């Protein structure tokens, strides 16, 4: 079995595969880093590990998500922990998800 990170073609889509030596598991991400926004359907990807868009995060907020754990539970964003391999910026998506939450969750004074 090949180890490391590779881009492969599956059903005419590019997928990234990463071998985790510790867990001895493959992680897959269906995302084309070089695709334009229109090729991605105009969606802004927030979590590259789980391929979760900003639109999906906002939909979770509409459906009651109030914090990062709710977003994790409802979307699977920020759950794989492979940010350095999948995110082009090589950082975790949680700060960005928290900013989206801050801007879109209505806080009550109760």
Tokens representing 98 are 């928290």
Of 31, 32, 34, 71, nearest to 51 by C-alpha is 31
CATH superfamily of 5-31+43-104: BFD-like [2Fe-2S]-binding domain (1.10.10.1100)
**pLDDT < 70 stretches in the chain:** 1-18, 20, 26-42, 107-110
pTM: 0.62
Domain boundaries, the chain: 5-31+43-104
Residues 73-104 pLDDT 10s: 999 999 998 888 888 888 999 999 999 999 99
């Amino acid at each position: 079995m090949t180890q490391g990170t590779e881009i492969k073609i599956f059903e005419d889509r590019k997928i990234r595969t990463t071998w985790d030596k510790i867990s001895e598991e493959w992680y897959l991400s269906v995302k084309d880093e070089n695709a334009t926004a229109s090729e991605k359907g105009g969606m802004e990807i927030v979590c590259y590990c789980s391929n979760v868009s900003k639109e999906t995060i906002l939909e979770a907020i509409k459906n009651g998500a109030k914090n990062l754990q709710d977003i994790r539970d409802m979307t699977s964003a920020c759950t794989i922990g492979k940010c350095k391999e999948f995110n082009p910026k090589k950082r975790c998506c949680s700060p960005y998800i928290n900013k989206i939450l801050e801007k879109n969750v209505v806080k009550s004074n109760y």
